[in-house]
């Protein structure tokens, strides 16, 4: 292998000799110290390989022995460089490209993070960045074991972390703490009221009711207790489950201005294209930014070479211009708009209130110098039950 590499670096030539007595050519080449290999023979014909530097001696020997010398092929680096000597820029570019790829593979460009639902991925990435691990960091600038131990020590909700770095990509997987899961399973709740009102009906499936139908309640008042007392005098903790329906009151005031200005999208738009190489942005178009108000949408695509992400991004910024327009509302139009807004409010009000129905509503339309005003008072029936966690440790002490 070493000999073949040296021959390729120095260059070698494959030739054939035609002679009725090729022995004369071989003997004279041997006496002149010419080394040959890859011999091929035939009738009045033989071929071999020889170093580039020995080619000139072969021509002299062929002349003396009256032989016909033919060059079959040139091999090796010197002939390759000679062939592409007019394309030195291409060769330099290939060398620089290879060097850039080698340099860029020393960074981590993509980090995949798998975390439990109660751990914020963004916060975990910020914590990893403190210890030197982030997208764009050099592979030798952080130690996987150190980052793993630091993250484990910083959050007691984590029981185990695995960090695998393959090439320019990294995978971080977080396993939840068993203690956290057990704490969630041990949670028990009381049920409190989330609004003032009068109790209309009750559905208590678990726990001890603290109120009766027709009784007035206040926001935050205990409705169902998670402490159950038995006839033998013992007590136990349960997870309260109930629906407590109460008649409550709500008010809403909606306004719209009598006249206002808004921005409307015009027909004018423009695009800007640029390339970002390792944080340096180079524009590829010369279009200017639109005047007045405009919106911008950014599209970014990262370059992938040989299945590896490199820090080269193609950016396209799409700008759309907006023009200012004035709108004046009349009373009839204002009532229609306010009615639509009220329907939207009622939809979300009933959606947010469990099993709610509107019992009664009173409307009042008015206006001042600048606005049209719609005020509505509601009487609704809704489920006001809201779970409130019981401090397990403190309750056990109280029961003892």
What pLDDT, on the 0 to 100 scale, is given for residue 396? 42
Confidence of residue 126 (pLDDT cuts 50, 70, 90): confident
Domain that holds residue 276: 260-327
Q: pTM of the predicted model, to two decimals?
A: 0.40
Contact indicator for 263, 257 with CB cutoff of 8 Å: no
Q: Max Cα separation, the chain?
A: 129
> Is 94 inside any structural domain?
no
Confidence of residue 239 (pLDDT cuts 50, 70, 90): confident
What pLDDT, on the 0 to 100 scale, is given for residue 184? 46
Give dist(CA 167, CA 151) in Å, integer.
22
Higher pLDDT residue, 89 or 334?
Answer: 334
Give dist(CA 46, CA 72) in Å, integer.
12
Residue 116: alpha-carbon gap to chain centroid: 16
> Is 298 inside any structural domain?
yes
What pLDDT, on the 0 to 100 scale, is given for residue 290? 59
Give dist(CA 74, CA 59) in Å, integer.
15
Contact indicator for 272, 297 with CB cutoff of 8 Å: no
> Is 67 inside any structural domain?
yes
What pLDDT, on the 0 to 100 scale, is given for residue 391? 62
Q: What is the mean pLDDT of residues 111-133?
A: 85
Closest-CA residue to 229 (of 36, 8, 398, 391)? 398
What pLDDT, on the 0 to 100 scale, is given for residue 85? 65
Confidence of residue 199 (pLDDT cuts 50, 70, 90): very high
pLDDT at residue 371 tops 80: yes
pLDDT tens digits, 289-341 = 556 677 777 888 888 776 777 778 888 888 888 888 888 888 888 899 899 98
What pLDDT, on the 0 to 100 scale, is given for residue 376? 93
pLDDT at residue 121 tops 50: yes
65 in the same domain as 125: no
Q: What percent of the chain is modeled with pLDDT above 70? A: 88
> Is 370 inside any structural domain?
no
In whole numbers, what is the pLDDT of the chain averaged over residues?
Answer: 81
Give dist(CA 126, CA 242) in Å, integer.
41
Query: What stretch of H or E contains 308?
Result: strand 308-328
pLDDT tens digits, 45-79 = 888 888 888 888 888 888 888 888 888 888 887 87
DSSP track, 326-343: EEE--HHHHHHHHHHHHH
CATH number, domain at 49?
A: 3.30.70.260
pLDDT at residue 179 tops 70: no
Confidence of residue 375 (pLDDT cuts 50, 70, 90): very high
pLDDT at residue 217 tops 90: yes
Give dist(CA 105, CA 258) in Å, integer.
62
Query: What stretch of H or E contains 82?
Result: helix 77-83
Of 327, 348, 367, the domain-final residue: 327
pLDDT at residue 163 tops 70: yes
169 in the same domain as 211: no
Of 134, 152, 182, the domain-final residue: 182
What pLDDT, on the 0 to 100 scale, is given for residue 227? 83
Give dist(CA 283, CA 301) in Å, integer.
15
Closest-CA residue to 382 (of 250, 242, 246)? 246
Give dist(CA 317, CA 12) in Å, integer.
55
> Is 363 inside any structural domain?
no
Give dist(CA 53, CA 216) in Å, integer.
110
118 in the same domain as 50: no
> Is 23 inside any structural domain?
yes
pLDDT at residue 218 tops 90: yes
What pLDDT, on the 0 to 100 scale, is given for residue 247? 93
What pLDDT, on the 0 to 100 scale, is given for residue 399? 42
Q: How many domains does the chain have?
A: 4
241 in the same domain as 265: no
Of 182, 205, 234, the domain-final residue: 182
265 in the same domain as 321: yes
310 in the same domain as 269: yes
> Is 104 inside any structural domain?
no
Confidence of residue 245 (pLDDT cuts 50, 70, 90): very high
Closest-CA residue to 191 (of 238, 259, 140)? 238
CATH number, domain at 165?
A: 3.10.20.310
> Is 369 inside any structural domain?
no
269 in the same domain as 235: no
């Amino acid at each position: 292998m070493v000999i073949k590499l040296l021959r390729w670096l120095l260059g070698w030539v494959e030739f054939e000799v035609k002679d009725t007595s090729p022995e004369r050519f071989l003997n004279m080449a041997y006496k002149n110290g010419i080394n040959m290999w890859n011999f091929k023979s035939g009738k009045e014909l033989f071929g071999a390989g020889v170093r580039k530097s020995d080619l000139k001696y072969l021509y002299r020997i062929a002349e003396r022995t009256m032989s016909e010398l033919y060059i079959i092929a040139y091999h090796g680096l010197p002939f390759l460089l000679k062939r592409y000597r007019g394309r030195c820029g291409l060769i330099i570019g290939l060398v620089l490209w290879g060097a850039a790829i080698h340099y860029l593979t020393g960074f981590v460009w993509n980090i995949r993070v798998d975390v439990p639902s109660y751990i914020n991925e963004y916060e975990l990435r910020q914590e990893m960045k403190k210890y030197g691990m982030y997208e764009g960091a050099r592979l030798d600038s952080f130690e996987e074991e150190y980052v793993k131990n630091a993250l484990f020590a910083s959050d007691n909700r984590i029981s185990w972390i695995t960090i695998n770095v393959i090439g320019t990509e990294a995978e971080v997987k977080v396993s939840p703490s068993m203690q956290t899961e057990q704490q969630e399973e041990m949670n028990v709740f009381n049920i409190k009221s989330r609004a003032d009102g009068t109790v209309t009906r009750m559905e208590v499936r678990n726990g001890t009711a603290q109120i009766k139908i027709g009784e007035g309640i206040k926001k935050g008042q205990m409705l169902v207790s998670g402490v159950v007392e038995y006839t033998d005098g013992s007590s136990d903790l349960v997870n309260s489950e109930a629906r407590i329906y109460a008649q409550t009151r709500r008010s809403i005031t909606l306004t719209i201005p009598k006249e206002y200005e808004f921005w409307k999208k015009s027909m004018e738009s423009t695009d800007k294209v640029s390339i970002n190489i390792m944080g340096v942005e180079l524009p590829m178009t010369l279009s200017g930014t639109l005047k007045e108000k405009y919106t911008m949408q950014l599209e970014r695509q990262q370059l992938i070479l040989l299945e590896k992400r490199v820090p080269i991004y193609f950016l396209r910024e799409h700008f759309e211009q907006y023009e200012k327009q004035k709108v004046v509302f009349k009373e009839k139009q204002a009532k229609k708009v306010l009615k639509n807004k009220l329907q939207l409010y009622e939809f979300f009000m009933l959606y947010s209130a469990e099993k709610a129905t509107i019992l009664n509503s009173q409307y009042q339309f008015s206006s001042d110098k600048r606005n049209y005003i719609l005020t509505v008072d509601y009487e609704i029936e809704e489920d006001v039950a809201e779970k409130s966690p019981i401090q397990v440790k403190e309750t056990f002490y109280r029961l003892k």
